[in-house]
Amino acid sequence: MFTAFGTLLLRRFFMALPRELEEAARIDGARPFPIFWSIMLPLIRPALAAPAVITAMWSWNDLLWPLVVNTDPAKMPTSAGLTPLEGQFETNYPVMMAGSLIASPP
């Protein structure tokens, strides 16, 4: 979730929030951390969810990195675990399609 895209998205979302909310809380006597925790954080939940979902999808669909760092087929993610089924001269299509079906719902 801590990517340049997430930082840019959250910055733009915070800039779009009305300044009057923070000023009203300061007038009521709230300190900076309670203003952030009880006013700003609940308002940016959609902006927090978007980078979380996008980062999870990028990680789930990542193929090259698990193949580089992991050599144990039992510990590979599903997308990287399907690559050994495709050979140079022969491909086991029924098993590959069954694995692809299992990997697609998440």
Q: What is the pLDDT of residue 106?
A: 66
pLDDT in tens, the chain (106 residues): 578 888 999 999 999 999 999 999 999 999 999 999 999 999 999 999 999 898 888 877 777 888 888 878 788 877 777 777 787 788 888 888 888 888 877 6
CB distance 21 to 39 below 8 Å: yes
CB distance 78 to 103 below 8 Å: yes
Q: How big is the chain, counted in residues?
A: 106
